[in-house]
Structure 1
Amino acid sequence: MPRPKVFVIFYSTYGHVHTLSKSIKEGLEKTGLVDVEVYQFPETLSENFLQKMYAPPKPDIPIITVDKLAEADGFLFGFPSCFVSAPAQVKAFFDSTGSLWSKGALSGKPAGMFFSATSQHGGQETTAFSFLPNLAHHGMLFVPALSRTDQVVGGSLWGSGTVAGSDGARLPTEYDLAAAAAQGEGFANVVSKLAA
């Protein structure tokens, strides 16, 4: 029997969420229970605008398409908090998934989130909470992350995360990355049980 397939799909302007996605993938693969594919959400900003924002080049990772989305058995979505919500790139992509919604193509599939924000109270939990309607309308099952309370971290039960700082200079800590790997590992266990 083939292993269930998990897609890690992220949007990252300055690389913080991309860095977390690597640890998420590591945690998923550590279990040996799922196959993992990593994708980026399509960019909606022009290259000229991104250069003016001093955004680094995008990593060499495939862009997710609506049709491809239906192939996965589970999803971990990553994105920065943008005014306590998912960024426009993520919203635009989900706005284009009506064909999947009309067929119920994502119904019953587990999904989780990971994210970054500029500060400790920069909207990470609200960002996750405001993204839940996308999952609910598709009939997807939200899988929370493991809770770690022994240190200050960027994430929560809503998902692993990092605090980027107001200028984006603060990188994910080893603790943030360990929490992301633990989220991936826990998510793989859930997906494999649901697939069985």
Structure 2
Amino acid sequence: MAKVLVLYYSSYGHIEQMANAVAQGAREAHAEAVVKRVPELVPPDVAQRAGYKLDQAAPVAAVDELPGYDAIIIGTPTRFGTMASQMKNFLDQAGGLWAKDALVGKVGSVFTSTATQHGGQEATILTTHVVLLHLGMVVVGLPYSFKGQLRMDQITGGSPYGASTMADDGHGGDRQPLAADLEGARFQGSHVARIAAALAGHARDGGPAQ
């Protein structure tokens, strides 16, 4: 059984919903899936005034626990085409793990949320991939075997790089993840879990662990 960490940051709850769907998909593929979030950097009074969702149930992760998982699936909203500073701050603390090759050969994957359809979904995922590659991880996306990303009947997230959703309804209002977006997230979780299980099994059978 693969052990999967869904590691996310969410200001308003959109990525939180996607993270839970990713974990559901991983569990459907018979993985042990754990959902955790990175620490908030915004002062509590500022976050409260900005309407941040502060009642998130997921516990806060520690950098040192990352090597204990076969796969790490990162969820982050976009900040001008790159990951949120909260996620970057967390990953920037992984230098000790990098020095020890502690994450080499682990599976890494990314999903995201943007305000709009063209708000940096693909760029955010791809720039996060760069960090995973520096850590020596095996990067996995959302393949076209998930046919939901080919649909044209509604505006949905999703690309071959990873699942995604949009948070703005086009009129300045809040848009929650669509069923199609959550379906993509579940598919990605399941896909990553199966690959992680296969790699872990190969290592146990005597194949190269790294």
Is TM more than 0.5 here? Answer: yes
* 1:58 Cα deviation after fit: 3.6
Distance in 2 between residues matched to 1:168 and 1:154, nearest whole Å: 18
Distance in 2 between residues matched to 1:52 and 1:154, nearest whole Å: 29
2:169 aligned with 1:143: no
Distance in 1 between residues matched to 2:21 and 2:57, nearest whole Å: 17
Give structure 2 stretches of 5+ with no counterpart.
202-210
From 187, 192, 195, give the equivalent of 1:187.
192
5 Å-filtered alignment, 1:21-40, equals 21-32=19-30, 34-40=31-37
| 1:71 aligned partner, one-letter code | G
Contact 1:14 1:168 in 2 (8 A): no
Distance in 2 between residues matched to 1:191 and 1:164, nearest whole Å: 30
Query: Which of these two proteins has the greater Rg computed from alpha carbons?
Result: 2
2:21 aligned with 1:14: no
* 1:71 Cα deviation after fit: 0.8
Large movers: runs of 4+ above 2 Å: none
| 1:163 aligned partner, one-letter code | M
**What CA RMSD, in Å, does the superposition of the two structures yield over aligned residues?**
1.2
150 and 73 in structure 1: CA distance in 2 versus 1, 3 angstrom threshold: same
2:179 aligned with 1:174: yes
Contact 2:110 2:129 in 1 (8 A): no
Larger deviation, residues 51-60 vs 125-134? 51-60
2:89 aligned with 1:92: yes
Please report the TM-score for the alignment, with normalisation by the length of structure 1. 0.94
| 2:186 aligned partner, one-letter code | A
Please report the TM-score for the alignment, with normalisation by the length of structure 2. 0.88
2:63 aligned with 1:60: no
| Residue identity (%) | 33
* 1:168 Cα deviation after fit: 5.8
